[in-house]
Structure 1
Amino acid sequence: MAGATAAPARTTPDLSAGAAAAAAGRFGRAVIFPGWRDLTGTLTTAEVLELSAIDKVEVLGSGPADPSARIDTGGFVRPQYRLGELVLTTTPAAGGLLVPFETRDPTPCCANH
């Protein structure tokens, strides 16, 4: 697995199991990882996999993204480690594009209610 830190995780006792899993690369979000700076603009799934340490690109609820699928990164990509693989989850967007499921500025839950 590329990009995981070897530094020990320091946290409160109630969070130590999750921190240990993230430090071991089993589970957790990746913010800085090899190639993250290159993931800007619109790229194909194949380009995302080639340019970065991301192992898989998935479409939420649909499985693996087609290698030719275009992903509008919005300059913000937050893949997750799942069992030692770095996985970017995407969702369909306007214009036949995919976008990362996690956005830089998420809509607050129950906004304007």
Structure 2
Amino acid sequence: MSHLDTVFTALAHPLRREVLSVLSGRDDGVAEIEELAERLEGVSEAESTARLRAALHHTHLPTLDEAGLAEYDPRSGAVRYRESPMKELVESAVRSSRDPRSRKSRSSTDS
């Protein structure tokens, strides 16, 4: 999976977008997993804060970390927003659109 696909996959889930919204709205861009679980409980389909915390820890925060949208330290529970993912995303898309091999593969799949 390309980095671009990883970013779009991460952004596809509404809870992950809410996590990014909370983090980006903070002056320091940092929150603890416990705080995120409490704040997002009403947004999630999880039955409890504990289940939401588990989903954040095992699924959502690692996905955001892998996509480069947030940094997650599972040992401390700290989550930090990364401010430049969209810039990198756009630059990546521009680079791939300039790559002649990329255009060939797209045009052969467009037919």
Quick one: higher RCO (CA 8 Å, sep 6+), 1 or 2? 2
Does TM, normalized by the shorter one, top 0.5? Answer: no
> What's the TM-score once normalised by structure 2's chain length?
0.30
TM-score using structure 1 length: 0.30
